[in-house]
């Protein structure tokens, strides 16, 4: 869904930055690491304090590193299995930090066990969604299906959290958590179903 926007931002922002960093001798893996550390620190520092708008703005800056490191790897010819593994693994950590930061706010100032639990559901099901696809592909199946891809989940929670901070409306975060909890769970079910059908077809052939 977000692929056209990704292509646009890669061309306009990521490509020039990637070329500059390569000339400076920076490796794609270093950009991946710094981006994840920055994103995680921002989410775990600002969100538990309820400083949602500034948190989202800082996180967004580091999210762009996910575009930059991939372009750097392709531009420099450093695309490798380890680089893909490293990038994917740190993506999971960054996603977890965002929902953990929100969970901490609901546990403290937000004072809501329901939305604390929903934040954790989004964290867990988001990671299971990614794991289901990775495990399926490792077994030779295709599982790139579902209504809640990672990019969609990330944009949804950041946009709604930022708007919540801008207008002082925590209900926007609550709506986003309900939608993402349901969508992530449905996506996991979709991937399990698709892989099951492929496995049955392979067994029957």
Q: Identify the three-state secondary structure at position 104.
A: helix
- For 55-83, how does the pLDDT look when each residue is reduced to its tens digit (9 = 90+)? 999 999 998 888 888 888 888 888 889 98
- For 162-200, how does the pLDDT look when each residue is reduced to its tens digit (9 = 90+)? 999 999 999 999 999 999 999 999 999 999 999 999 999
Mean pLDDT of 84-103: 95
Mean pLDDT of 16-30: 88
pLDDT band at residue 102 under the 50/70/90 scheme: very high
As a whole number of angstroms, the distance between CA 87 and CA 33 comes to 8
**Structure confidence at residue 78 (pLDDT):** 81
pLDDT at 5 over 70: no
Closest among 180, 176, 169 to 50, alpha carbons compared: 169
**Structure confidence at residue 1 (pLDDT):** 45
**Structure confidence at residue 18 (pLDDT):** 82
pLDDT at 121 over 50: yes
- For 35-57, how does the pLDDT look when each residue is reduced to its tens digit (9 = 90+)? 999 999 999 999 999 999 999 99
**Structure confidence at residue 2 (pLDDT):** 45
pLDDT at 8 over 60: no
Average pLDDT, the chain: 91
As a whole number of angstroms, the distance between CA 109 and CA 33 comes to 30
The alpha carbon dihedral of 64, 67, 72, 75 has a sign of negative
C-alpha distances out from residue 84 to 20, 89, 127, 170, 174, Å: 22, 8, 17, 36, 33
- For 124-174, how does the pLDDT look when each residue is reduced to its tens digit (9 = 90+)? 999 999 999 999 999 999 999 999 888 889 999 999 999 999 999 999 999
Question: Mind telling me the catalytic residues?
Answer: 91
Class of domain 3-200: mainly alpha
**Structure confidence at residue 32 (pLDDT):** 93
């Amino acid at each position: 869904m977000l692929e056209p926007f990704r292509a646009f931002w890669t061309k306009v922002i990521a490509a020039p930055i990637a070329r500059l960093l390569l000339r400076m001798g920076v490796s794609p893996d270093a950009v991946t690491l710094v981006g994840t550390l920055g994103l995680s620190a921002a989410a775990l520092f600002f969100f538990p304090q309820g400083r949602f708008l500034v948190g989202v703005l800082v996180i967004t800056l580091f999210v762009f590193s996910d575009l930059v490191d991939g372009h750097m790897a392709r531009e420099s010819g450093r695309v490798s299995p380890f680089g893909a593994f490293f990038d994917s693994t740190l993506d999971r950590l960054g996603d977890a930090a965002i929902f953990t930061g929100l969970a901490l706010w609901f546990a403290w100032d937000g004072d809501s066990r329901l939305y604390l639990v929903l934040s954790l559901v989004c964290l867990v099901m988001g990671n299971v969604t990614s794991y289901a696809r990775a495990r399926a592909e490792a077994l030779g199946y295709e599982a790139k299906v579902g209504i809640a891809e990672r990019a969609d989940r990330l944009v949804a929670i950041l946009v709604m959290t930022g708007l919540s901070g801008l207008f002082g409306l925590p209900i926007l975060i609550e709506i986003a958590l309900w939608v993402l909890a349901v969508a992530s769970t449905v996506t996991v079910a979709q991937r399990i179903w698709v892989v099951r059908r492929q496995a049955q077809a392979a067994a029957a052939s």
